[in-house]
Structure 1
């Protein structure tokens, strides 16, 4: 063991003895391990950062908007407003399809799970 590992081990033991590590959030619960094996090594850190920050990829944000527009159209009774919403919906679907085509070429991970993503978010 190197010096830093020994210092860290001693500090951890000392903290345990002093009770400083009692009642930590998640204490006694299993760790949630993320399966990032489908993401290329060079992209994993970026994906983890975005996920922890609560940021969705652009195509999933658009997919959420598509779902919302579908719901709005289903409950809309004004024909002019329905036409405007349908126009927005078509633009979003087009944008989504363009993004997915680009992602297929550039990201084997995304193309591998494309069908699962489509199924989960409504089959578009």
Structure 2
């Protein structure tokens, strides 16, 4: 079954190439960007996130992920426990918010 679908997709792509429908696309002739963070996101979600980002709209999860990365960098730079405590508290809050947003999106997509 999967082989048939793969063959169908290949035929459709070859047809589009022959008709010139795949020419002049953004990034044509360049390798795909390396996105290691997409390894932990389903292909459909990754494509949706990428389209939203290109349109200038980012989902809450991505915004929170960026904040988490910034807090982790701040945590690495912190020199004392007194500096680390508020950063850890903020990081914990952000991770909780990220998990809630992820779960909400997954529940929404199932319904």
TM-score, normalized by length of structure 2? 0.52
2:26 matches 1:32? yes
Specify the alignment match of 2:76 in structure 1.
74
How far off is 1:95 after superposition? 0.4
Flag the structure with higher helix content: 2
2:94 matches 1:100? no
| Count of paired positions | 70
- Between structure 1 and structure 2, the one with the greater Rg is 1
2:57 matches 1:55? yes
How far off is 1:58 after superposition? 0.6
Higher relative contact order (CA 8 A, sep 6+): 1
TM-score, normalized by length of structure 1? 0.47
2:85 matches 1:83? yes
Give structure 2 stretches of 5+ with no counterpart: 1-22, 28-42
RMSD (CA atoms)? 2.7
Structure 2: distance between partners of 1:106 and 1:52: 22
